[in-house]
């Protein structure tokens, strides 16, 4: 909102008065970050045994089903409303068409059932895309060297139904195929899953900042080429409006912008334009950069994390997916 400048100038006006002490600063703070805003992404691995550290993401692990249940329980105890699951599929189960994605007993579906049995009040969110399941690391099916849209959507719908049947609360399609929100919404309605929420990765950019994530789910090493024919060009913001309008029209309940910090302008525009619940994904590369700088003693991790998360709220985000969620929840509780 643009307002006229206030009358009066120095020394009548001294903006520093409102910053004079902590109590006043608390009262005049415009944006607030709370534990309710945070969603914790968790990586899964097949088989039991100890959690495996993700080399490119300090403090982040891949968990087997039992451990994931314990981690989800910790999330609930910290007051986090939701976790989002990302599987690392064993190579032997990867195929060109990613059919493991809709196996009702795949790693994701087993974990959804186990978490919902243990902590029914915690929202379980899942990713809809084929990259953890394909031999080529793309989010869709390839024909003659092209990622084909409509055939990919058919597989994504089957994946969505498998996760819905397993008990997921929120499905988050991250694939960026055209028409997938509508196709998934129709399939959910027909399958008596009318209440399942869709959080559309509406404005997802072809970004350099997904590198550590691709390590974590094991899709980075196998990825052939790039994702520029389906993920958005970082040059564009009008297109983000169009993508988001389409996803809402097709049945998205919530929308997402991804990555976060380099796209705060997009978060702001989308929240202003549509006034729907808007999420932002503080992605793996953003998280790891902060850690890398902190390890060198260049940035204070806790302060850096909280400042970044607050910037998302100030830009207009309602929800934030961040690997820093458990730490942020601890810091918020100790304030």
Show which residues are catalytic: 204, 258
**Is residue 283 within the footprint of ligand PBG (CB under 6 A)?**
yes
| Residue range at the interface with ligand PBG (CB under 6 A); choices 9-17, 123-131, 141-149, 151-159 | 123-131
- Is 205 a binding residue for ligand PBG by CB under 6 A? The answer is no
Both structure tokens of 30: 């415009």
Minimum Å distance from CB 329 to ligand PBG? 18
* Backbone dihedral angles phi then psi of residue 265, each to the nearest 5 degrees: -65, -35
Nearest distance, CB of residue 185 and ligand PBG, angstroms: 19
Tell me, residue by residue from 224 to 243, as one string, x for binding to ligand PBG by CB under 6 A and - for no binding: ---x----------------
Q: Does 129 bind ligand PBG (CB under 6 A)?
A: yes
Identity of the residue, 119 or 213, whose beta carbon is nearer to ligand PBG in the bound complex: 213
> CB of 211: closest distance to ligand PBG in angstroms?
7
Q: On the CB side of 196, how many CA atoms lie within 13 Å of its CA?
A: 30
Q: Which CB, 119 or 125, lies closer to ligand PBG?
A: 125
Burial 154-180 (b: 16+ CB within 10 A, else e): ebbbbbbbbbbebbbbbbbbbbbbeeb
Site string for ligand PBG, 138-177 (x = CB under 6 A): -x----------------------------------xx--
Residue with smaller CB distance to ligand PBG, 174 or 311:
174
Residues contacting 191, CB < 8 A, separation 6+ = 161, 164, 165
Question: Using CB under 6 A, which of 210, 230, 263, 312 touches ligand PBG?
Answer: 210
Q: What residues contact 163, with CB distance under 8 A and at least 6 apart? A: 108, 109, 112, 126, 128, 171
Among residues 101, 134, 163, 284, which is the contact residue for ligand PBG, using CB under 6 A? 284
Q: Residue 290 and residue 277: Cα distance in Å, rounded?
A: 27
DSSP category for residue 231: S
Go through 220-233 and write b for each residue having 16 or more CB atoms within 10 A of its CB, e for each that does not. Answer: beeeeeebeebbbe
Q: Total number of residues binding ligand PBG (CB under 6 A)?
A: 12
Give the shortest CB-214-to-ligand PBG separation in angstroms.
Answer: 6
Alpha helices per DSSP H over the chain: 22-28, 65-77, 107-118, 149-166, 180-190, 211-217, 238-250, 264-274, 284-295, 301-315, 325-333
Q: Which stretch binds ligand PBG (CB under 6 A): 24-32, 61-69, 125-133, 312-320?
A: 125-133
Q: For residues 57 and 220, what is the distance between their CA atoms, to the nearest angstrom?
A: 14
**Residue 66 beta carbon to ligand PBG: minimum distance, rounded to whole angstroms:** 24
Which C-beta is closer to ligand PBG: that of 118 or that of 289?
289
Which range, of 111-119, 157-165, 209-217, 292-300, touches ligand PBG by CB under 6 A? 209-217
Q: If binding is defined by CB under 6 A, does position 263 make contact with ligand PBG? A: no
State how far the Cα of 143 lies from the Cα of 160, in Å rounded to an integer: 22
CB nearer ligand PBG, residue 118 or residue 206: 206
Residue 277, Ramachandran bin (φ over 0: left; ψ between -120 and 50: alpha; else beta): beta
- What is the Rg, in whole angstroms, of the alpha carbon atoms belonging to the chain? 21
174 vs 278, which CB is nearer to ligand PBG?
174
Pick between residue 64 and residue 260 the one whose CB is nearest to ligand PBG: 260
Q: How many Å apart are CA 103 and CA 163, to the nearest integer? A: 9
The residues that touch ligand PBG, with contacts defined as CB under 6 A, are 127, 129, 131, 139, 174-175, 210, 213-214, 227, 283-284
């Amino acid at each position: 909102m643009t307002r006229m400048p206030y009358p009066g100038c120095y020394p009548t006006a001294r903006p520093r008065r409102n910053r004079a002490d902590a109590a006043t600063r608390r009262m005049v703070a415009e944006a607030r970050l709370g534990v309710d805003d945070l969603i914790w992404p968790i990586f899964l691995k097949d088989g039991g045994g100890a959690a495996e550290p993700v080399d490119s993401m300090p403090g982040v692990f891949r968990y087997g089903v039992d451990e994931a249940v314990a981690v989800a329980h910790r999330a609930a105890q910290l007051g986090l409303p939701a976790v989002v699951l990302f599987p690392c599929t064993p190579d032997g189960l990867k195929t060109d068409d990613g059919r493991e994605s809709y196996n009702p007993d795949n790693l994701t579906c087993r974990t959804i059932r186990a978490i919902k049995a243990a902590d029914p009040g915690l929202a379980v969110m899942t990713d809809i895309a084929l990259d953890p399941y394909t031999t080529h690391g793309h989010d869709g099916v390839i024909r003659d060297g092209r990622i084909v849209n409509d055939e990919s959507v058919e597989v994504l719908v089957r994946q969505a139904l498998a996760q819905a049947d397993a008990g997921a609360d929120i499905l988050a399609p991250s694939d960026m195929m055209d028409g997938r929100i509508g196709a998934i919404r129709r399939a959910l309605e027909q399958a008596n899953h009318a209440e399942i929420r869709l959080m559309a990765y509406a404005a997802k950019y072809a970004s350099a900042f997904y590198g550590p994530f691709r390590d974590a789910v094991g899709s980075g090493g196998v990825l052939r080429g790039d994702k520029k024919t389906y993920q958005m060009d970082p040059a564009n913001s009008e297109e983000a409006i169009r993508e988001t309008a389409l996803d809402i029209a097709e049945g998205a309940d919530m929308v997402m912008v991804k990555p976060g910090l380099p796209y705060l302008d997009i978060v702001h525009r989308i929240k202003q334009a549509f006034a729907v619940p808007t999420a932002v994904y503080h992605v793996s590369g953003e998280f790891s950069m902060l850690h890398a700088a902190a390890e060198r003693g260049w940035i204070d991790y806790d302060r850096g994390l909280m400042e970044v998360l607050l910037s998302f709220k100030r830009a207009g985000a309602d929800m934030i997916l961040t690997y820093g969620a458990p730490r942020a929840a601890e810091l918020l509780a100790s304030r």
